[in-house]
Amino acid sequence: MRDKEALDTGRLACITGSQLQELLSLTKPMPAQDTRAGLLREVVLSCNYSSCQQTLRGYYMDLQCRCIRGAREWMQVGQQLLACFDGRPERLIAQAQGSAARLVDIVTETFPGFRDCTVYK
């Protein structure tokens, strides 16, 4: 962490969405960034100093990991679009020939990041 004051509770107790984006060194706003900043403010205001510092370090690391993972997935989408559809999303859609089910199959076959699955019991 470059900013030694990044986890200062006084600073985090009033952090805004854009300040959180800057803290995480993101070039673009993250989804629901103002809401996330609000949750972070609540965490800071609801805990004592030492446990708060520990909680915030975990939260910070989790957000960084999610952002990196998200960036990798979008990079993978771009690479697969280039490799399989000449970089043209409309070709991906045309290949489904009007079938939503086929489109889902193509997307999950082509883009590993979209292969979410779970077992329902």
Sequence letter at residue 44? V
The string of pLDDT tens digits covering residues 24-83 is 888 888 888 888 888 777 766 665 555 555 566 666 666 666 666 666 666 777 788 888
Q: Is the pTM of this model over 0.85?
A: no
Residue 89 has pLDDT above 60, yes or no: yes
Burial track 32-56 (b if 16+ CB lie within 10 A, e otherwise): ebeebbeebbebbeeeeeeebeebb
pLDDT attached to residue 15: 81
Burial class for 19, CB neighbours closer than 10 Å (0-12, 13-18, 19+): middle
Q: How far apart are CA 34 and CA 20, in angstroms?
A: 8
Secondary structure letter of residue 114 according to DSSP? G
